[in-house]
Amino acid sequence: MSPVLAGVLQLLALIAALALAYRPLGDHMARVYSSDKHLRVEKWIYKGIGANPNTEMRWPAYLRGVLAFSLAGMLFLYLLQRLQGSLPGSLGFKAIDPDQAFNTAASFVANTNWQSYSGEQAMGHVVQTGGLAVQNFVSAAVGIAVAVALVRGFARSRTGELGNFWADLVRGVVRILIPISVVAALVLVACGALQNFSGIHEVGQFMGGEQQWNGGAVASQEAIKELGTNGGGYFNANSAHPFENPNPISNLFEIFLILVIPFALTRTFGRMVGSVRQGYAILVTMATIWIGFTALMMWTEFHHGGPAFDLAGGAMEGKETRFGIGGSSLFATSTTLTSTGAVNSFHSSYTGFGGGITMLGMQLGEIAPGGVGSGLYGMLIMAIIAVFIAGLMVGRTPEYLGKKIGTREIKLAACYILVTPALVLGFTGASMALSTPKDSLLNNGAHGFSEVLYAFTSGANNNGSAFAGLSADTPWFNTTIGLAMLLGRFLPMVFVLALAGSLAAQKPVPATVGTLRTEKPLFSGLLVGTLMIITGLTYFPALALGPLAEGLAS
């Protein structure tokens, strides 16, 4: 079988699996967030944290819950790293330095999982499982909770109440993330992924000498890192490591885990607003971009010219032979079009255009299908921008799902889409202008610029993948990327929740003959065009200095 055909078959198999899971998972999540009943274990948790799950919250209270919980999680994870040397199961590793501990705590709380350290050489069992893995669950649940709050803003009227953050958080973990993660971990163990709490072992090498390896609860952390679109990795090689991702079957399964909740949330959205066709319109938009980016990535990696590439069957540098170009391209586009950040290949070794595709996927806002929760609310924000543009074209006050998009709503949406570009371009410009940050570059010219642009694009968009080639474990990059991750995660949530409160307080507007039909393919096309135009106008100059210049020169 040719490598190209193998890649296409993997894509088709993945689409089929996602289609089978779409309806049952989407309907289940809609029931979870619409139910007024609480499980016994949930009641114990509410009692333990002193929360009343039946109390409705307006958007400022909901936001305070998000920020307070995230701040507490960040402080706990920071202290856990700083005290690692005194903890049991530390494997002899010392405490993490302050700037790196801040960066890692910010990263995992922000659902980014950017890692400026080698996991198997820095973190012991307690920090990995009691700190990082726990944040993988709760940071993902926070993202879903904010998305559900925005959906309630569309679904409700004449009220500012958006539900209860603590109930949404606990239900997301208990009823969705934990059950699926348990099954997923068992599947990964069956595929050959590691799952133990062993210490450090001396392992002989083929060419002589020895190498140290340590075990860990890898499969369980791998399951939630992909399912929660967290990213990161137990080992420095991430999902290219055979202990994390042993074979092509586990590779395809991990991609499935990355995509299944973000895609299924469009069904949840349709059910909660009372129109599954509206969910299908958002799904079509996401799927169109994802399939288009995947096809473009496969094309540029399979058909890159040159004798070495021809002999290898394409641009195989930096890719695992057990995955090939097809499995690597699928993983690369899926992880950068979501806020996952896990990688099974060396993105810096992709072709110039291939590296640009990974960057553009993040710069879209990671909404195709995006992270768990963040992808849906990001796409709904862009839908508001699209109906506003359509309203300007026909001279009509824009409406979306029966809610008028007025001055307040469009200002909040505009602030949302401006946050991450300001962080990415601002920090990238400062890093290139100052002398010290440039000492971390291993490459000059366009590729070196791409390394820095990718790092801040990944951090501010809460992706967490690395282009590689950048020595980011320095006080400058640990601090600035940490700030980019925190601001890129929580500032947009402020605007999303404020927008949700504004929409929930409105009186529904009845549809008329002049109302834009947002469940139709025409709107999906308008939404795709809006996304590409806004992103292009924002990032094209920076992309032209990096991956585009490199691609045209090769």
Cα–Cα distance measured from residue 151 to residue 11, given in angstroms and rounded to the nearest whole number: 30
202: which 2 tokens?
Answer: 């001396």
> Is the separation of the CB atoms in 529 and 389 below 8 Å?
no
441-489 residue pLDDT tens? 777 788 888 888 988 999 999 998 887 777 878 888 889 999 999 999 9
Record the pTM: 0.94
Helix (H, G, I), strand (E, B) or coil at 195: coil
Gap between the Cα atoms of 15 and 326, Å rounded: 14
Is pLDDT at 308 greater than 70 in this prediction?
no
Per residue in 272-283, pLDDT (tens digit) is 999 999 999 999
Q: What is the pLDDT of residue 206?
A: 66
Distance (Å, whole) CA 327 – CA 330: 5
- Tokens coding 63: 């936001």
Residue 345 DSSP symbol: B
The strand pairing partners of 342, in sequence order, are none
Domain boundaries, the chain: 22-274, 372-553
Distance of CA 249 to the CA centre of its chain: 22
Beta bridge partners of 201: 213
Average pLDDT over residues 16-39: 96
**Closest Cα partner for 381 from 485, 531, 229?**
531
pLDDT tens digits for range 243-254: 999 999 999 999
Number of H helices, E strands in the chain: 21, 4
At residue 63, what are phi and psi to the nearest 5 degrees? -65, -40
Does pLDDT of 97 surpass 60? yes
